[in-house]
Structure formats: C-alpha cells, structure tokens
C-alpha cells in the first residue's frame, strides 16, 4: 500500500524516479525497489520524501488514493 501511494503521488507531481532518488541520496534502482515493494521503506526517509513530494506524511498510509493528490503541504 505505502509503495503504491508513493508511486501515485510521485507520478501525479510529474516527478521522475531519478529525481526523487537523487533528492533522497540513493540510487534510482534502490528507489525503484521501494516503489515496487521489493525493498522496505526506511521510516527515517518518510519526512524527507514528504518534503520532496510536498505532501503530509500521513498520506503515504491511506488505504487508497486518487490520481488527484490534494493533501499538499502549504
């Protein structure tokens, strides 16, 4: 669920995996594995990921998201 939400949010913002990975200081492959559920998301990067995607951290844990991610941080 979390990985799918991260991917949906990233795509809705028009950001690439490469960009987000660089902002997090990891390889694109490592980030790709997180989004696809092949690697666990380190809880320590959630605040930074939230900042990069400009959303509240709680949105990553929602049961379902729409393509219109409206819980941006202002």
Domain ranges of the chain: 2-59
Residue 10 CA to residue 62 CA, distance in Å, equals 15
| Arithmetic mean of pLDDT, 30-50 | 95
**Residue pair 3/46 in contact by the 8 Å Cβ criterion:** no
pLDDT at residue 66, rounded to an integer: 60
Asked if residue 40 has pLDDT above 80, the reply is yes
CA 73 from centroid of its chain's CA atoms: 14
Q: In the CATH scheme, what is the homologous superfamily, with its name and number, of domain 2-59? A: lambda repressor-like DNA-binding domains (1.10.260.40)
pLDDT digits (tens, 9 = 90+) for 7-21: 999 999 999 999 999
The pTM assigned to this predicted structure is 0.83
- Look-up: residue for tokens 């202002």? 74
Q: Which residue has the tokens 């949010």?
A: 9
């Amino acid at each position: 669920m979390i990985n799918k939400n991260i991917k949906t949010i990233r795509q809705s913002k028009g950001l690439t995996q490469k960009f987000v990975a660089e902002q997090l200081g990891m390889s694109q492959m490592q980030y790709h594995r997180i989004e696809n559920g092949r690697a666990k998301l380190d809880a320590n990067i959630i605040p930074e990921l939230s900042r990069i995607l400009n959303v509240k951290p709680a949105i990553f844990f929602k049961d379902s998201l729409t393509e219109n991610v409206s819980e941006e941080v202002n």
